[in-house]
Amino acid sequence: MSRTVILVLLIFLFIEPSIVVGAEPIQRDHVRELDKVFSPQTSAANLIERFGEANVTTGQIYLGEGSYEEGTVLFKNSDEEKVEILWKDPKSKQFPRIVMIRGKASRWRTTKGLTLGLDLLTVEKLNRRPFRLRGFAWDYEGAVSSWSGGSLEVQGSDSCTIWARLKPEERVIHGMRPYYNQVAGDREFSSGHPAMQALNSRVYMVILNCKR
């Protein structure tokens, strides 16, 4: 076997190739920034042009309390790449109203580093101060209601606002039930509340709100 053939085989064996998806190649460790890809002017046509038609599909998006709404799903077959979009104009699929990622981990984040799986203490550091969020154990548990003027609060009419939802891990709930009960229900709490600090919940949803 020639030295050239051996070299080619070694390249395929030891160098992880790019995953080419649609119109834009994706490295397996590639991270995209939600608030750079999506703006109030984004359309499904823009997404198809950028990511390929096969990766931009129509689907039913869960909103909570048993409610669904038809929207667009980007990379529906990849949990870590998946993005869900609801449109202001559903017929023409343009002008996003809500852009969401959810789950335990994602290759998407915001430009300031907010992504799935971060714990509450890390989110406080990104925000540079405590923030306000709803209590746990209901459909909208752990929804951030205010960044309290922190660095994650987006200013300006041309930007989508950034929100998140957090919840404790199951093992933490079982081990710290009294703390959990203190911050359960449809009430608002500071992330600096002692029970919130002890539970140190993790981000399970990041939302761009482009209603403006």
* Residue 65: predicted pLDDT: 80
Q: In the predicted model, is pLDDT for residue 179 greater than 80? A: yes
User: Is the residue at 4 inside a domain?
Assistant: no
Are 118 and 202 a contacting pair, CB within 8 Å? yes
Looking at per-residue pLDDT, the higher value among 137 and 18 belongs to: 137
Are 131 and 146 a contacting pair, CB within 8 Å? yes
In the chain, at which residue ranges do the beta strands (DSSP E only) sit? Answer: 19-21, 24-26, 32-33, 56-64, 67-74, 83-89, 94-102, 108-109, 132-134, 144-146, 161-167, 188-190, 202-209
* Residue 50: predicted pLDDT: 96
Question: Which one, of 204, 200, 179, lies nearest residue 191 by Cα?
Answer: 200
Q: What is the pLDDT of residues 149-168, one digit of tens each?
A: 999 998 655 678 999 999 99
User: Is the residue at 111 inside a domain?
Assistant: yes
User: Is the residue at 148 inside a domain?
Assistant: yes
User: Is the residue at 81 inside a domain?
Assistant: yes
Q: In the predicted model, is pLDDT for residue 115 greater than 50? A: yes
Q: What is the pLDDT of residues 123-140, one digit of tens each?
A: 999 999 999 999 999 989
- Ramachandran quadrant class, 64 (left: phi over 0; alpha: psi -120 to 50; beta: rest): left
Q: Which domain holds residue 44?
A: 18-209
Percent of the chain with pLDDT over 70: 84
CA-to-CA distance for 164 and 137, rounded, in angstroms?
A: 16
Q: What value does the mean pLDDT of the chain take? A: 87
Residue 13 banded pLDDT, cuts 50, 70, 90: very low
Per-residue pLDDT, averaged over 174-198, amounts to: 97
* Residue 159: predicted pLDDT: 78
Q: In the predicted model, is pLDDT for residue 107 greater than 60? A: yes
User: Is the residue at 96 inside a domain?
Assistant: yes
Query: Tokens at residue 69, please?
Result: 């709404």
Are 109 and 117 a contacting pair, CB within 8 Å? no
CA-to-CA distance for 23 and 53, rounded, in angstroms?
A: 8
Residue 197 banded pLDDT, cuts 50, 70, 90: very high
User: Is the residue at 6 inside a domain?
Assistant: no
* Residue 212: predicted pLDDT: 59
**Number of domains forming the structure of the chain:** 1
User: Is the residue at 147 inside a domain?
Assistant: yes
β-pairing, 19-21 vs 94-102, is unpaired
| Its pTM surpasses 0.75 | yes
Q: What is the pLDDT of residues 36-88, one digit of tens each?
A: 999 999 999 999 999 999 999 999 999 888 899 999 999 999 999 999 999 99
User: Is the residue at 205 inside a domain?
Assistant: yes
**DSSP character string of 136-192:** BSSTTTTBEEE-TT-TT---STTS-EEEEEEE--HHHHHHTHHHHHHTBSS-EEETT
